[in-house]
Structure 1
Amino acid sequence: MPGWGGLARLVTILSLLALPVATFAQEPVFNTPLVTGELSSPILTLESDRLYAESAFGRRVQQELEAMRTDLVSENERITAELTVEEQKLTDKRPGMDPAAFRALADAFDEKVQSFRTAQDDKAKTLDSFNEDARRVFIQAARSEIFAILQETGAALIVERRIVIVSADEVDITDTAIRRIDAAIGDGSDLIPPHP
């Protein structure tokens, strides 16, 4: 059994070992409860794809795009069916027609088909452009909220989570940012109206 001197040294050593733990437990991890956890970090992470997809803004845009793509597919199917019927009628006429006259009708039909394809491709590109434009508007609108989180947490940097090899969940601010952005801009109807 150690003497009083040895016991005093042991208590002193244990006290010193416990000091950093006690100090760490008493200090807030961040300057605000926006991000909580066991770690304090000058670097936060954010999943930008999830930020957009799970926000009210992103969900609204995706629903509109899905509806527009469904309409476009239905239109493609309807026009394709009409062109198929027209092509069959043209084929049925061929045996009793003058070759030059048939060639003129066939060329006109081919031109019609090509025009249809071009028009439908343009519509698909318009949908893609709408999606890209909406995402740019969202990023611009979200920037101030994300910057506010950076300032409030006292962090120095926010990085894209998918490019980070390993990180703690506690430093990810995606859910917090979604809530803040939803509260600030809602579904973004006043920023980018529904696509016609």
Structure 2
Amino acid sequence: MRAWRALCAVVVLLFLGQPVPAQDAPIPGGIILTLDQDRLFLDSAYGKASVERERAATKALEAENARIEAELVAEEQELTRKRGTLPAEEFSALAAEFDAKVERIRAEQDEKSRDLVRAREADRQAFLRAAIPALAELMGELGAVAILDKSQVFLSLSAIDVTDEAIVKVDAVLPAETAP
């Protein structure tokens, strides 16, 4: 365990000792903060509203898919019953129409599913754009020069994680009601 700590300390010292390109003068304060972007979104009022809206839309799409599936199964069973009573050409035409209908419906439902994914991503992007001023304010209050995504940091002290503070700031300027 001591060897691991020593190795981490050496890595940190080597990293901190490297010159930084395009840096003319020391940065006052020099505090670097970390933030868990996922938790910032998911634990914020806006994010919770967005997730709930997505859950409701997903549930509605699943119910619609189940209803459509039941209708198609019934239609297919009716078509199967007609098979023995219809001339081959007429049955083939009905079967081809049914297959085309199933393919069209599948494509439509797949597009609705992709729309849900696009809406989720759009909500996250809108949230992050709207959260930037609150995060910048937090940086200023703490004298920080940067906020890094916590998932991209190899080693840090938990004291530099400002996710909880960021959630409070973001909720103040971006309440749940603003979620699309």
Q: TM-score range by the shorter chain?
A: 0.7 to 0.9
Structure 1 CA distance, aligned partners of 2:39 and 2:30? 22
Which of the numbers 9, 31, 42 marks the counterpart of 1:42? Answer: 31
Q: 1:76-132 CA deviation, whole Å, 9 max, x = no partner?
A: 011101100110110111112111100000011011111110111111111111111
Please tell me whether Structure 1 or Structure 2 has the larger radius of gyration of its CA atoms.
1
Matched, 1:179 2:168: yes
Instruction: Give yes or no for contact 2:138–2:169 (8 Å, CA) kept in 1.
Output: no
Structure 1 CA distance, aligned partners of 2:170 and 2:141? 15
Report the CA distance between 1:133 and its aligned residue.
1.1
Could you tell me which residue of structure 1 aligns to residue 151 of structure 2?
Answer: 162
Identity %: 38
Q: Which amino acid aligns with 2:121?
A: E
Could you tell me which residue of structure 2 aligns to residue 103 of structure 1?
Answer: 92
Structure 2 CA distance, aligned partners of 1:105 and 1:142? 55
Could you tell me which residue of structure 1 aligns to residue 116 of structure 2?
Answer: 127
Structure 1 CA distance, aligned partners of 2:148 and 2:100? 51
Q: Which ranges in structure 1 are unaligned for 5 or more consecutive residues?
A: 1-39
TM-score by length of 2: 0.81
Q: CA RMSD in A?
A: 1.3
Aligned residues: 152
Which of the numbers 58, 65, 74 marks the counterpart of 1:76? Answer: 65
Structure 1 CA distance, aligned partners of 2:30 and 2:160? 7
Which of the numbers 101, 107, 127 marks the counterpart of 1:112? Answer: 101
Structure 1 CA distance, aligned partners of 2:66 and 2:56? 15
Matched, 1:149 2:138: yes
Instruction: Give yes or no for contact 1:41–1:171 (8 Å, CA) kept in 2.
Output: no
Instruction: Give yes or no for contact 1:146–1:177 (8 Å, CA) kept in 2.
Output: yes
Q: Which ranges in structure 2 are unaligned for 5 or more consecutive residues?
A: 1-28
Structure 2 CA distance, aligned partners of 1:185 and 1:174? 15
Q: Which amino acid aligns with 2:92?
A: R
Could you tell me which residue of structure 2 aligns to residue 136 of structure 1?
Answer: 125
Report the CA distance between 1:146 and its aligned residue.
0.6
Structure 2 CA distance, aligned partners of 1:173 and 1:41? 16
Structure 2 CA distance, aligned partners of 1:181 and 1:124? 29
Structure 1 CA distance, aligned partners of 2:174 and 2:82? 61
Instruction: Give yes or no for contact 2:33–2:146 (8 Å, CA) kept in 1.
Output: yes
Structure 2 CA distance, aligned partners of 1:94 and 1:111? 18
Instruction: Give yes or no for contact 2:34–2:147 (8 Å, CA) kept in 1.
Output: yes
